[in-house]
Amino acid sequence: MAAMKAANQMGSQRVIKISNFFGGAEKAWHARREEFEKINLPSNALESFFEFRKKFPEAPEMIEGFCEKKNFKLCCILDEDYPPILKNIPSAPAIFYYRGNLRTFSERVAIVGTREATEYGKKAAQKISSELAAAGLTIVSGAAKGIDTAAHIGAMKNGRTAAILGGGISYYFKSEKKKLLEEISEKGIVISEFSPSFQPNTGSFPARNKIIAGLSRCVIVIEAGEKSGALLTAEDAKKFSRDVFAVPGNIFSEKSLGCNNLIKNGAILLNDVKDILKKYNFSVEQNIFETEKIPAPVEEKKILEVKPIELTDTEKKIFDIIPAEEYITLDEILMSVDDIDAAEISSIILELELKKYITEDGGRYRRN
C-alpha cells in the first residue's frame, strides 16, 4: 500500500479501493494494466500509478528497507494490528509509519490545545494527562509545543503516550523535536501517515487532527483561542461521534475563548479526571487519587541531585544565560550566543525544559 500511495494522485481512499478490489496490496501492485479497467478510477490517477511503478518497480522492497534502516515500522489498514476505532472513520489513512509499540493503542484519550500556552494551561495538561496515564490510558496529542508537549510529558510520568505528526516521521526525527519524540517512542508510539521525508505545511495538519480525534475515545481541549487548530480537532471529534471535554479558562484571556465557547456550545466541562474514568467505565490500574505514583519530595530531590551532573558544557552555557527572576525570549538567548547555531540552541532549550531545569511561557523562558 505504501508503494501505491507514493504515486501522485493516489490518496488513501483510492489505494484502499484498489487493494480491496484485487484482494490485497501486493496483488494490486503486480496487476496488469487491463485489469485496472474494471475499477472506476480517474485515468490520470491510474496513469500516474503506472508511470511510478515503471520507474520504481522495486518500490515496496525499497520502502521496507528504508523503514528497517531507520528503525520505523509500517502499518496498513488491512493489517490485523491496525486500530479498529481508526479504521471506521471517514477517510481513514491507508497506511501509517510508526516508531514505538502498538500496545499504546489500547484505550486512548486525546489532549490538545494552543501552542502558546500559559503556565496554567501547561500545568493543567500535565496534571490531567499524568492522572489519566496512571489509570492505564494512552494520551494522544500532536507533538506541537505548548499544550501538546505538556500532555506528552505528563503522560510519560505515569504511563503511555502517542504523538501524531503533521509531517513525515523521518523529517521530525531530524528536527528540534528529536529528543522528545525519541522519549515518546520508548514509552509509547510516534506515528505519521505521510511519507517519511514529507515536510509539514498548513495543509497537512488537518489530516493529523483527524487521526488524533479518530484514534481517541474523547478529546480534551485545554486552552484554545477562537481560531485555534485544537478547535478543528474538536470538530472532527464531533463528526466521529466522540465526546469533547473542555477545561474552563480565564475569561480575560484570549487563549481561553475557544475552550469557554466550546463549553457554552455543549462541550463537557472538565475539572476532574474522575468524570472521564466514570463516564467510560475505565478500569483504574492503581489508586491515583490517594497516593502519588512517585512521591513529590523524592522526585524533587532526584532532580536537584541529577541536574549538575547532566548539564554538558554547551547546555550549561545556555542555562547560565536564562535568568531565574524573569522570563526572556528565544531571540534574547540567540543574541547572547554567537558560537552555537539556532537549531542546536532550540534543541538544548527543549532538553532543558524536558529535564525541568527551565520553564516556558508563551515563547519565553526562565529557570525553575
133-190 pLDDT tens trace: 999 899 999 999 999 999 999 999 999 999 999 999 999 998 888 999 999 999 899 9
Please check whether residue 65 is in contact with residue 88, taking contact to mean a CB–CB distance below 8 angstroms. Answer: no
For residue 342, pLDDT beyond 80: no
| Of 189-203, 233-247, 295-309, highest mean pLDDT | 233-247
Angle at 12 (CA atoms; ends 36, 46), nearest 5 degrees: 30
Distance CA 30, CA 334 (A): 54
Which residues sit opposite 100 in a β-bridge?
Answer: 189
Q: Between 354 and 103, whose confidence is greater?
A: 354
**Position 30 pLDDT exceeds 80:** yes
58-80 pLDDT, tens per residue?
A: 988 998 898 888 899 999 998 88
Q: What is the dihedral of CA 140, 146, 152, 153, to 10 degrees?
A: -170
Give the Cα separation of 58 and 49 in Å (integer): 14
Query: Between the CA of residue 368 and those of 130, 156, 228, 274, 365, what are the distances in Å?
Result: 20, 20, 28, 30, 9
CA distance 322 to 332: 9
Cross-sheet strand order for the sheet of 328-329? 328-329, 364-367, 358-361
Q: Which of 157-161, 179-183, 296-300, 338-342 has the lowest mean pLDDT?
A: 296-300
The CATH number assigned to the domain with range 99-279 reads 3.40.50.450
Residue 239 has what pLDDT? 93
4's CB contacts (< 8 A; 6+ apart) are 10, 15, 18, 19, 25, 28, 29, 49
End-to-end CA distance of the chain: 48
Q: Mean pLDDT in the chain?
A: 85
Return the higher-pLDDT residue of 9 and 96: 96
- In angstroms, the Cα distances linking 193 to 92, 130, 163, 197, 202 are 10, 27, 12, 11, 15
The CA-atom distances, in angstroms, between 252 and each of 146, 151, 248 are: 19, 24, 12
- Please give the angle made by the CA atoms of 268, 270 and 273, to the nearest 5 degrees: 125
pLDDT band at 283 (very low <50, low <70, confident <90, very high): low
Residue 322 has pLDDT above 70, yes or no: yes
Question: Could you tell me how far CA 34 lies from the centroid of its own chain?
Answer: 41
Q: Tell me, which fold does domain 296-367 have in CATH?
A: Arc Repressor Mutant, subunit A (1.10.10)
Instruction: Report the predicted TM-score, pTM, of the whole model to 2 decimal places.
Output: 0.74
Percentage with pLDDT > 90 across the chain: 41
